[in-house]
Structure 1
């Protein structure tokens, strides 16, 4: 015989007090819509036998939650001038507009404090948000996700809907190509220290390079921009290597411009690889080899995850959608090799 489910069981599972459970079930006007949805979802999953009086409140509670929706969602990016992020924003806007939502866009300018302030201001004004490569800490992101529907791109945080790109195989293919070209030493031109993507890319590059007997050193720029890629040439020349792997394409392009100004031949003197496959990478001289990320698909996935979470009143298990990255080899590795442009040349964070 199964034990009868009580409000104490629901409270323990939902992470709230028994009093909150009681109010969510019988007096929904006293608690938030998110708490109501959470408590009732847990109650249903545990098989709680709701009294008829409480069941009659369900339709009214659902109507109240729906009435509180604004039809607004936010897309927050650290730098909307970054081609990867601008494409993400456009795709999310298109998907959300098709479902009747208006999108508010915010550029936090790589500022974690601005990101936090915007999140606090918007929590009560929007139905949900897509965060592109957020620099905010995990604790703060979880607080936001507990308060409103949230989906993130290019950031792994347990308990939050997220869209990621698996870059390991693509990086391995890039390193094999470098090895064939005679490369044994590599510089990683790092992005922001607060970026999860930067740490993830550096870790994968180092691990895969070590497996191939190659060494990796790191130099860091203050911001992931073309200008800072250009300025990085000074640090590189103090300890030059056979190849440079940049955090993103725009940094790689800036580095190539500086190298050429210093009479450094690419790829004869140094071979260069970026991350993103932004459209410009196919038109540089030489054309830029890069790790292609499926940015448009990632953005569509994030928008769909957000829509589903809004419809479920921010309840249910968090989901992770993983897409495969691909190595695009171009002239910055092999000068005489035919240029292989990607069919879909689009950008990353």
Structure 2
């Protein structure tokens, strides 16, 4: 059945992938609600913005009255909540914004959704879902080399970012248990792919290498992450939102455990083939690798057990790490206008123009 879906944070990296998937691959109608912080980029939605099934509203999830008005007017069947501050380094430098957006903002949406849900007819209530999108970082890190995060792993967040996301997860579960709000939670591993904001490891490495700049690696670079191609994640999220069981949590991972140093070296190898004309003075892209002081509280290893979503909902990733990373490197080579607008700040002007349409 066709659904009316609100995606919060739909101008962000994962959110925009979800919106593109919903418009390009389904018949659902989408309202993208985004504050347009520094990480929001409406140009990431240029290929769907003209669809009559898509609309954008600029709003902050900390603005209770604005969000309430949008939800009550749009009358969604599903709310997919992706809006969040998500950069660990920024959370260490300034935790306050993470608490406000990730905790207070989520509380606002839960309360608005509760009142909205209680006013729906029985038929509409039966179809309503509040899907909260979270991270595997709420679990802390893994000590053993073979351990995996499951849906029942205890929470042990290490950074202000992961602590704020853990807090929001707990709120969502409480609103389901206490008030009967039909919620679902997903916790994902590290995403990568097209339209990834350049402050994150993979796009930063690609763009620094192309510019002949240092490729910074925290500590010894042996921190392990499970990498998930963003378009695989988008498919999983829509599947959970539309077919998942109320009150359940689903872990989403790419089955791709890699050390950070391995990720950077693999990017360099792809660039040697795809971008052989190197910047002046660079013989090999790997020569640009530079080790820097590790960040405080840096988790050593994340790894997701995604067997539940595979067994219960039939989802598996389409991309291996190598195929997904090659596609990602090629996308950045093919789309300099997008990332150059981020680097020079002109994307903010694009946001302002598109937001006023």
* TM-score of the pair, normalised by structure 1: 0.37
Q: Which has the larger radius of gyration?
A: 1
* TM-score of the pair, normalised by structure 2: 0.37
